[in-house]
Amino acid sequence: MNLEAAKALGAGLCMGLGAIGPAIGEGNAVGKALEAMARQPEMASSLRTNMILGCAITETTGIYSLVISLLLLFVFKG
C-alpha cells in the first residue's frame, strides 16, 4: 500500500470514528432538552440556550477530528 492510500484511509477513519461521539452526544442532549421543554414549557428559552451551547461544545470533538484528518492528508509527507 502506498503512502497516499494510507493517508486517505487514516483520514477517513479519523473522520468516521471522530463523528460518532458528537452525533450520539448531540442527539442525547437535544432529546433530553425536548423532554424537559415538554414538561416545563415556561423554561423553554433557558433550556434552548443551554442546549445550543452544549451542542456547540460537543461539536468541537468533530472539528478536532476534521483538523487531524486534514493534517494527515496535506501536511504529513512521510
**pLDDT at residue 78, as a whole number:** 64
Taking all residues of the chain, what is their mean pLDDT, rounded to a whole number? Answer: 91
Q: Per residue in 5-37, pLDDT tens?
A: 999 999 999 999 999 989 998 999 999 999 999
- CATH code of 3-74, in short, is 1.20.20.10
pLDDT surpasses 80 at 43: yes
By the 10 Å C-beta count (0-12 exposed, 13-18 middle, 19+ buried), 60 is classed as exposed
**pLDDT at residue 76, as a whole number:** 79
Angle at 15 between CA 61 and CA 52, to 5 degrees: 35
**Residues in Cβ contact with 8 at an 8 Å cutoff, skipping those fewer than 6 apart:** 73
Which residue from 57, 67, 75 is spatially nearest to 21, judged by alpha carbons? 57
**pLDDT at residue 36, as a whole number:** 94
